Chain A
Amino acid sequence: MIIALNDVIDQYCPNLKKYLEENPDIDRMVKTDNGTYFAFPFIRGEERLCFTVGSFLRQDWLDELGLAVPTTIDEWHDVLVAFKEKKGASAPLCYDYINFKGSNPFAFAYGVGTANNSSFVLDENGEIAYAYARDSYRDYLTTMNQWYQEGLIDADFATLNGDQVTAKMTTDQAGASVGWAASRMQLFMTTAQAENPDYLLVPAPQPAAKAGETPLYAYAENRFPDVGAAITGSCENVELAARFLDYGYSEEGHNLFNFGTEGVSYNWEGDRAVYTETITDNEDGWPIAQALAKHIRANYNGPFVQDLNYLEQYLQLETAKLCPETWGVATAREHTMPPVTPTEEESKELATIMNELGTYVDEMALKFIFGTESLDNWDNYIRTLENMNLSRALEIEKGALERYNAR
Chain B
Amino acid sequence: MKKYTGDRIKKDFQRNWSLYLLVIPVIIFYAIFMYKPMYGAIIAFMDYTPAKGVSGSDWVGFANFTRFFSSPYFVRLLRNTILLSVYSIVFGFPAPIILALLLNEVGNKKFKKISQTVTYLPHFVSMVVICGMIKDFCLSTGLINDIIAFFGGERVPLLQDPKYFRTIYTVSSIWQEVGWGSIIYLSALSGVDSQLYEAASIDGAGKWKQTLHVTIPGIMPTIIVMLILRMGSLMSMGYEKTILLYNSAIYETADIISSYVYRVGLIDQDWSYSTAIGLFNSVINCALLVITNMISKRTTENSLW
Asked if A90 lies at the interface with its beta carbon under 8 angstroms from chain B, I say yes
Q: How many residues of A contact B (CB 8 A)?
A: 25
The 0/1 profile, CB within 8 Å of B marked 1, for residues 338-364 of chain A is: 000000000010011001100110110
User: By the criterion CB–CB under 8 Å, are B140 and A155 in contact?
Assistant: yes
A243 CB, min distance to chain B CBs, angstroms: 28
Asked if B141 lies at the interface with its beta carbon under 8 angstroms from chain A, I say yes
**What are the residues of chain A within 8 A of B138 when measuring CB–CB?**
159
A233–B269 Cα distance when bound, in Å, is 23
A284 CB, min distance to chain B CBs, angstroms: 29
Asked if B94 lies at the interface with its beta carbon under 8 angstroms from chain A, I say no
Asked if A156 lies at the interface with its beta carbon under 8 angstroms from chain B, I say yes
User: By the criterion CB–CB under 8 Å, are A159 and B270 in contact?
Assistant: no
Known: A155-B140, A158-B157, A351-B268. A359 touches B251 (CB 8 A): yes
**What are the residues of chain A within 8 A of B160 when measuring CB–CB?**
156, 158-159, 366, 370
Asked if A240 lies at the interface with its beta carbon under 8 angstroms from chain B, I say no
Asked if B54 lies at the interface with its beta carbon under 8 angstroms from chain A, I say no
A363–B76 Cα distance when bound, in Å, is 13
Asked if B220 lies at the interface with its beta carbon under 8 angstroms from chain A, I say no
User: By the criterion CB–CB under 8 Å, are A159 and B247 in contact?
Assistant: yes
A351–B263 Cα distance when bound, in Å, is 13
Query: Which B43-77 residues sit within 8 Å CB-CB of chain A?
Result: 49, 51, 71-73
Known: A156-B139, A156-B140. A359 touches B248 (CB 8 A): yes
User: By the criterion CB–CB under 8 Å, are B71 and A363 in contact?
Assistant: no
A362–B138 Cα distance when bound, in Å, is 21
A122–B162 Cα distance when bound, in Å, is 34
A191–B264 Cα distance when bound, in Å, is 39
**What are the residues of chain B within 8 A of A156 when measuring CB–CB?**
139-141, 157, 160
A10 CB, min distance to chain B CBs, angstroms: 26
Which B-chain residue is minimally distant from A168 (CB atoms)?
B141
Asked if A23 lies at the interface with its beta carbon under 8 angstroms from chain B, I say no
Known: A155-B155, A156-B141. A372 touches B161 (CB 8 A): yes
Contact of A355 among B141, B248, B268 (CB under 8 A): B268
A359–B269 Cα distance when bound, in Å, is 15
A399–B160 Cα distance when bound, in Å, is 38
User: By the criterion CB–CB under 8 Å, are A366 and B268 in contact?
Assistant: no
Residue with the greatest number of chain B CB neighbours at <10 A, chosen from A159, A359, A387: A159
A355–B273 Cα distance when bound, in Å, is 12
User: By the criterion CB–CB under 8 Å, are A363 and B268 in contact?
Assistant: no
Contact of A359 among B73, B155, B157, B249 (CB under 8 A): B73
The 0/1 profile, CB within 8 Å of A marked 1, for residues 139-176 of chain B is: 11100000000000001010111100000000000000
**What are the residues of chain B within 8 A of A164 when measuring CB–CB?**
139
A362–B162 Cα distance when bound, in Å, is 14
A363–B162 Cα distance when bound, in Å, is 11
A180–B135 Cα distance when bound, in Å, is 24
Asked if A388 lies at the interface with its beta carbon under 8 angstroms from chain B, I say yes
Contact of B248 among A90, A348, A356, A362 (CB under 8 A): A362
The 0/1 profile, CB within 8 Å of B marked 1, for residues 148-170 of chain A is: 00000001101100001000000
A65 CB, min distance to chain B CBs, angstroms: 24
**What are the residues of chain A within 8 A of B270 when measuring CB–CB?**
351-352, 355
Contact of B264 among A155, A355, A387 (CB under 8 A): A355
Asked if A98 lies at the interface with its beta carbon under 8 angstroms from chain B, I say yes
**What are the residues of chain B within 8 A of A359 when measuring CB–CB?**
73, 248, 251, 263
B105 CB, min distance to chain A CBs, angstroms: 41
Asked if A1 lies at the interface with its beta carbon under 8 angstroms from chain B, I say yes
User: By the criterion CB–CB under 8 Å, are A159 and B157 in contact?
Assistant: yes
**What are the residues of chain A within 8 A of B157 when measuring CB–CB?**
155-156, 158-159
B241 CB, min distance to chain A CBs, angstroms: 15
**What are the residues of chain B within 8 A of A1 when measuring CB–CB?**
51
Asked if A367 lies at the interface with its beta carbon under 8 angstroms from chain B, I say yes
**What are the residues of chain A within 8 A of B161 when measuring CB–CB?**
370, 372
Which B-chain residue is minimally distant from A354 (CB atoms)?
B268
Known: A158-B247, A159-B247. A90 touches B141 (CB 8 A): yes
**What are the residues of chain B within 8 A of A370 when measuring CB–CB?**
160-161, 249
A10–B174 Cα distance when bound, in Å, is 64
**What are the residues of chain A within 8 A of B141 when measuring CB–CB?**
90, 156
A362–B273 Cα distance when bound, in Å, is 21
User: By the criterion CB–CB under 8 Å, are A388 and B249 in contact?
Assistant: no
**What are the residues of chain B within 8 A of A348 when measuring CB–CB?**
49
Query: Which B95-113 residues sit within 8 Å CB-CB of chain A?
Result: none
Known: A156-B141, A355-B264, A370-B160. A360 touches B155 (CB 8 A): no
**What are the residues of chain A within 8 A of B72 when measuring CB–CB?**
356, 360, 384, 387-388
Partner-A contacts on B (CB < 8 A): 49, 51, 71-73, 135, 138-141, 155, 157, 159-162, 247-249, 251-252, 263-264, 268-270, 273
If A355-B268, A355-B270 are given as contacts, then 16 extra A-B residue pairs at C-beta distance below 8 Å, sorted by A number, are A98-B247, A159-B138, A159-B159, A159-B247, A352-B270, A352-B273, A356-B72, A359-B263, A363-B249, A366-B247, A366-B249, A367-B249, A370-B249, A372-B161, A384-B72, A388-B72
3 interchain residue pairs of minimum CB distance = A362-B248, A366-B249, A155-B140
A–B complex contacts, Cβ < 8 Å, 13 sampled: A156-B140, A158-B249, A159-B135, A159-B157, A159-B247, A355-B264, A356-B71, A356-B72, A359-B73, A363-B252, A366-B160, A367-B249, A372-B161
